[in-house]
Structure 1
């Protein structure tokens, strides 16, 4: 697969504005980094964005999250590894990312309410929207992740 266009080169002002918004979302709601990593990784998995999955796995490792924690995100329902807050975030991430199928169900939203403030719920939701934006740009432009191969 060949990359189509580099959005950062062809539309730098737009991409800077998007990056500024992303930074504001990450900084503006006081969310723990683990929740940002869960959102970014799970949405990127659902959307099939190899570029973003690669990037967000590396970021999660750099922030000290275990390899097991990263590896099991795609099968979180079958793993006891994730706590109640992480599970609620993963459920909401899936619901909002697949909004055309789910309609963002009340049950997924209600599961957040005892665990997060209203401001945090807005933060989680806008982070989900933001990673879905990045996924769609990367996928449609066929952004390529770096290839790192170990010597045989």
Structure 2
């Protein structure tokens, strides 16, 4: 499999605007380790190899435990994640698959027990940003480095 085309070369403004969105998402105050867990989880759901590779590397660079990276797609089945992280991961799943069920009130309530309103919209922005990156990478068949 090979990359279809280099979108950033063809349309540099796309990369520029996506990086603006990324920088804004980083400024929302979401803890860096949680930020990366959200990006990994959404990328798992979307099947984005490029982003999975990038964000597992980034997560390790922040000192994340290997087992928490390996078990992320089974976060409900472990005790390795805090209640705050679980709320964010659940929101990540619902926002990533928003056409299936929206975001149920009970999910929103769990998130709001852990995050204030500003943090909650910050989470939504982080989730939307990685979903946008995933869709660009998958559509253009971006490949992780060899």
Is the TM-score greater than 0.5?
A: yes
Query: Which TM-score applies when normalising by structure 2?
Result: 0.97
Match of 1:135 in 2: 134
Over residues 35-55 of structure 1, what are the superposed CA-to-partner deviations in whole Å (9 max), with x where a residue is unaligned?
211110000000000000000
Number of corresponding residues: 146
The 5-angstrom pairing of residues 81-120 of structure 1 reads: 81-120=80-119
Deviation at 1:124, TM superposition (A): 0.2
Q: Any gaps of 5 or more consecutive residues in structure 1?
A: 148-152
1:8: Cα distance to partner? 1.1
Equivalent in the alignment of 1:7: 7
| Segments of 4+ moved more than 4 angstroms | none
Unaligned runs of 5+ in 2: none
Aligned CA RMSD, in angstroms, stands at: 0.8
Question: Aligned ranges for residues 1-152 of structure 1 at < 5 Å?
Answer: 1-27=1-27, 29-147=28-146
Structure-2 separation of matches of 1:2 and 1:21? 27
1:150 aligned residue: none
TM-score, normalised to structure 1, is 0.93
CA distance in 1, matches of 2:10, 2:52: 23
In structure 2, distance between residues paired with 1:94 and 1:25: 18
Equivalent-residue separation in structure 2 for 1:75 and 1:14 (angstroms): 34
Q: 1:31: Cα distance to partner?
A: 1.2
- SS of the equivalent of 2:143 reads coil
State which drifts further: 82-91 or 102-111: 102-111
Q: Which range moved further: 40-49 or 10-19? A: 10-19
Matched position secondary structure for 2:114: coil
